[in-house]
Amino acid sequence: MAQEYDLVILGGGTGGYVAAIRASQLGLKTAVVEKGKLGGTCLHAGCIPSKALLRSAEVFSQTKKSEEFGVISGEVKLDFLKVQERKQKIINQLHGGVQHLMKQGKIDVFHGTGRILGPSIFSPMPGTISVEFENGDENEMLIPKNVIVATGSRPRTLPGLDIDGDLVMTSDEALQMESLPSSIIIVGGGVIGIEWASMLSDFGVEVTVLEYADRILPTEDKEISKEAQRLMKKRGIKLVTGAKVLPETMEKASGVTIKAEHKGEQKTFSADKMLVSVGRQANVEGIGLENTDIQVEKGFIKTNDYYQTKESHIYAIGDVIGGLQLAHVASHEGIVAVEHLANENPSPIDYSLISKCVYSSPEVASVGYTEEEAKEKGYNIKTGKFSFRAIGKALVYGESDGFVKIIANSDTDDILGVHMIGPHVTDMISEAGLARVLDATPWEVAHTIHPHPSLSEAIGEAALAVDGKAIHS
Ligand code: FAD
C-alpha cells in the first residue's frame, strides 16, 4: 500500500540526510530513499575517506622528518592495509552516527532506488515515487506532498579515456587501492587531483599531474595557485600545466602511457597507474525526470534560488544542481529547500560567502572574490598579504610556507575576499567567512585581537597590511 509523506528525499548523501533532519525538526513526516549508503559520496567516497588517507600520508611524511624536531624514531614503515582499515573505521563510526540521527528524527529510510513516477504538479498525486529494491522485494510506492532530489554526482572522464578501475582509476577506485603504485599520472589539477597528488607524494609515490589550464587550482586566486605550484614542485611533484591529454594515445600494458600536447609538442608520460580527476557529473538519469517538467541544463537540474525546479513541489539540491559541488553547500541547500517548502521564509544562499578548502600540503582555503574576480566586477581594491614565515607558531610547527591575502574594497573598506595557503588554513578560514557575513572591514578583523602564538595571527597581520600597518613585516 502506498505511504503518504510530507517530504520524500531521493538520495541520503550530505545534502539529503541533512535536509531530512531539518524537515523532522520542523515536524514534517519525512522519508529518505537511498540506493547506496546513508552519507553518500562525502562519507563513503569523498571528503572523509580522502581526508583519512591524507592524514595517514601526513603522519608518514612527518615521522620521516622527526629528527628535525629532535625526535629519533628509527626506520619508518608504511602498512597501507592498516591505513585503509583506519579509514574504514572512521567511515563506519560516522555512518553509524547518521543512521542514529535518522532514527532519532523518526525519519523513514528506504534502502532502494527511487524514481519519480508522478507526472507534473497538475497530477492528483504530485511526485509519486516508487522505490525499487535490488533484493527482489516488492516495490514500495510513496506519495509525498514535496520531493527533494539529492541524487548527487559521479566522477566524469574524458571521452575515450576508459576507466578500468585498476590501471586507470577515478577517485572511487583509488580510495579502495590495497597497495600503492610506485608512480602515477593524475589527469586534472583541480581540488581532487591536487589532494591526491599531495597525499600520494607524501606516501612516497612519484606523481605527475597533467592540467589543461595554465595553472593548478585554476579557480583559486592566481597568487595562491602560483604559490601552491611552487611548493608542490619543491616537494618533487611534477606539474605539467597547459597540457592537453590525448586519450586516443593511451596504451596499457603493465602500466599506462599517454601523450599530451604541451607547448606545441606531443610529449609522452608513463606511470604504473593513472587517476582521472576531471570533474563530476550529476546523477540525473533513471530518476524519472522524464515524468516531470523538470529542466536539465548542461547536465544539471535547474532550480530557482530556493531550489524549486519547474515543478514547484519538487526541489533539487547538492551536486545534482552543479555550482559549488561541496558537502557543506549541499547540506545548506537542503536546509534552505526544506525551510522554503515548510514556509519558514529562509534567505537564499549568497555563494560568495562560502568557504572552499583544499586539503593538500600545504592547505589552501578561500572565501569571497579572488583579486581577478574583484577587478572584473569593477571594484577598486586594496590588498594585504602576510607570510607565515614571520609567524612564531608556524615556525614552532615547522610549517612556515604560505601566506594570508585579504582583498578589500578601497571605497567602502568591506572585505571582498580572503585567500590562504599554509598550515591549518582550512581550520582558520571560517574567521574570514564570518568577517564576510558581517561585512567586516580589515580594521575590525585586525582589532579582533589574535592570540599569540597562533597561526591566526597571520589573519590579523594581513588585515593590518591592507592599510600598510602590518607589525612584523
Ligand atoms: P552525494 O553525497 O553524492 O549523495 C547522493 C546520494 O544519492 C548517494 O548516496 C547515492 O547513492 C544516492 N542516490 C543517487 N541516485 C539515487 C536514486 N535514484 N535513489 C536513491 N538514492 C540515490 N566536499 C567538501 O565539502 N569537502 C571535501 O573535502 C570534499 N572532498 C571530496 C573528495 C572527493 C574524492 C570527492 C569525490 C568529493 C569530495 N567533496 C568534498 C564533494 C562532496 O563529496 C559532495 O559535494 C557531496 O557529497 C554532495 O552531496 P550530495 O548530497 O549532493 O550528493
Q: What is the pLDDT of residue 126?
A: 59
ipTM score: 0.99
Please report where in the chains the cell 549508503 appears, as a residue.
37
**Helix 191-202 vs helix 47-64: crossing angle, to nearest 10:** 30
Asked if residue 288 has its Cβ within 6 Å of ligand 1, the reply is no
Any residues with CB less than 8 A from the CB of 352 and at least 6 apart, and which?
367, 368, 369, 436
Ligand 1, atom nearest to 13 Cα: 4
Return the CATH class of domain 2-152+283-351.
alpha beta
3-state per-residue secondary structure call for 299-359:
CEECCCCCCECCCCCEEECHHHHCCCCCHHHHHHHHHHHHHHHCCCCCCCCCHHHCCEEEC
189 assigned binding-site residue = yes
Identical fold between 2-152+283-351 and 157-278: yes
CA–CA separation, 457 vs 384, rounded Å?
14
CA distances to 4, 97, 139, 141, 143 from 1, rounded to whole Å, are 10, 31, 10, 7, 10
Ligand 1, atom nearest to 51 Cα: 28
Asked if residue 151 has its Cβ within 6 Å of ligand 1, the reply is yes
Bridge partners of 42?
none
Q: What is the pLDDT of residue 2?
A: 79
Q: What is the pLDDT of residue 421?
A: 98
Q: What is the pLDDT of residue 120?
A: 46
Q: What is the pLDDT of residue 121?
A: 47
CA distances to 24, 182, 290, 418 from 167, rounded to whole Å, are 45, 12, 36, 39
114 assigned binding-site residue = yes
CA–CA separation, 46 vs 355, rounded Å?
17
Low-confidence stretches of the chain (pLDDT beneath 50): 120-122
Between the CA of 431 and the centroid of ligand 1 the distance, in Å, is 26
CA–CA separation, 322 vs 378, rounded Å?
26
Query: Is residue 323 within 8 Å of residue 306, measured between CB atoms?
Result: no
Q: Tell me: cis bond preceding 362? Omega within 30 of 0 counts.
A: yes
Q: What is the pLDDT of residue 122?
A: 45
CA–CA separation, 404 vs 349, rounded Å?
25
Q: What is the pLDDT of residue 139?
A: 86
Helix and strand tally (H, E) in the chain? 13, 24
Q: Is this model's pTM higher than 0.80 or not?
A: yes
Which of 18, 41, 147, 276 has the most ligand 1 atoms within 8 A of CB, as the residue to mutate? Answer: 41
211 assigned binding-site residue = yes
The CATH superfamily of 362-466 is: FAD/NAD-linked reductase, C-terminal dimerisation domain (3.30.390.30)
Tell me the domain boundaries of the chain: 2-152+283-351, 157-278, 362-466
The CATH superfamily of 157-278 is: FAD/NAD(P)-binding domain (3.50.50.60)
The DSSP 8-state label assigned to residue 163 in this structure reads -
